[in-house]
Structure 1
């Protein structure tokens, strides 16, 4: 009795594995090229918007894409460790007898760590835009809707969520963007290079 899987199944899994490896190699090669990656995503998004405006349809798909991209952006702006919980823990320590010096290495200052890293944000956003573009190729996804209502609702949702996020950033004093490495001294005399 032969219990080996059919040869077609083995070739399917081998081809799937080979495609996944090629895809990972491409991702590994584009990882250090941040501006180029985002320029590509911007071009893909522009092509998508031209497609939607020219075809005058797929507003529900566009709305869903906007909500998903907003969700990704918020996760990109938020810290991995919630500072409100850490402030509550610090307040409990003060109530118990005053502030204490850190006794463990995980209690020390940690730099800003994003909930969603930049590369995963880019990768998820690009995939979502491509999936949305593929959806515009099928009429089944073109649900008739009055698009100005969706646009107004998205603008209100964007404003409210960003206002809440900015308040959170101000309250807990964190900045999710690194504007570059600071240099000290004068570069003419060899310092600050």
Structure 2
């Protein structure tokens, strides 16, 4: 048979993916969880607590935990950084009070931050079931080094925020008065 179907199988295409129904179900769950930001982060915090208890009870897997913390620090930096780096492409945020307000656009959106953190935490949790990942280390040194790395990185990031005058967190959309200007803040 020289037709497109020989023996009931399509010719020339990739083989069918047996995991496709599972991937589709996962995508539906992710799509449904998107508007529920608080519940997603609470679930991540609960899973992190279970992971911390497991590591504490096992008294090991400090390298896995350290790698997890470094990865999440990197994700946090992407979350609080602007999508366009003003050092490389010039300031895109308003630099004067009379310029048009443009919202802060993150380099790493909140959902991707959560999803990447969740996947990393699940991989770290799975690694605690394999003794080969339990490398003996003196954990206080790792903890001290992580805190130093965190503070140095955040100091640099905050200096960047001050220099280019942006704030990655806002409390909502600005409300403008009749004259088109934002209302002045009162000192009550």
Name the TM-score, length of structure 1 as normaliser.
Answer: 0.77
Task: Confirm or deny: 8 A CA contact 2:91 2:164 kept in the other structure.
Answer: no
How many residues of Structure 1 are paired with residues of Structure 2 in the alignment?
163
Distance 1:80 1:147 in 2: 35
Distance 2:163 2:15 in 1: 56
Cα-to-partner distance string for 1:78-102 (whole Å, 9 max, x where unaligned): 000011223389xxxxxxxxxxxxx
More helix by proportion, 1 or 2? 1
Structure 1 unmatched runs, 5+: 90-107, 186-193
Runs of 4+ in 1 over 4 A off after TM superposition: 1-5, 182-185
1:54 aligned residue (46, 57, 73): 57
Name the TM-score, length of structure 2 as normaliser.
Answer: 0.79
Correspondence for 2:148? 156
Correspondence for 2:41? 38
Distance 1:77 1:169 in 2: 9
Correspondence for 1:166? 158
1:120 aligned residue (112, 131, 135): 112
Distance 1:45 1:180 in 2: 29
Structure 2 unmatched runs, 5+: 93-99, 178-188
Q: Which has the higher contact order (CA 8 A, sep 6+)?
A: 1
Q: Tell me whether 1:180 sits opposite 2:183 in the alignment.
A: no
